[in-house]
Amino acid sequence: MNNTVKARIVKMGNSKGVRIPKPILEQLALGEKVELSVRGDQLVIRPDKHPRSGWEKQFKHMAERGDDRLLDEEAVRSTKWDEDEWEWK
């Protein structure tokens, strides 16, 4: 659906809202939660994105390339203090 659709702003409880037609909801894959932002004089509605979406796929890809090792191997080596003084409770 690439056509412009006109809608009314309607009262919804103490707020106001816009009813979004089903074809637009389906085209944009809008679910129960969305992100709203203002860009100039436009209201932008986007699907809610999870901050870590896609991480699992990227970690798998890194492992396949062998790019999933720690950058600072020295930081994970235990010290004498770790071995002699540290006590897990």
- Do the domain assignments include residue 34? yes
- Do the domain assignments include residue 29? yes
Task: To the nearest 10°, report the CA torsion of 11, 4, 29, 42.
Answer: -60
Number of domains in the chain: 1
- Do the domain assignments include residue 15? yes
**Long-range contact pairs involving 17-23 (C-beta distance under 8 Å, separation at least 24):** 20/45
**pLDDT on residue 75:** 67
* Domain assignment of residue 16, given as a range: 7-72
Give how far Cα 29 sits from Cα of 16, 48, 56, Å.
22, 10, 22
**pLDDT on residue 89:** 72
Averaged in consecutive runs of 10 residues, what is the pLDDT profile of the chain (89 residues)? 82 94 89 93 89 87 87 72 80
Buried b (16+ CB within 10 A) or exposed e, 20-53: eeeeeeeeeeeeeeeeeeeeeeeeeeeeeeeeee
**pLDDT on residue 52:** 83
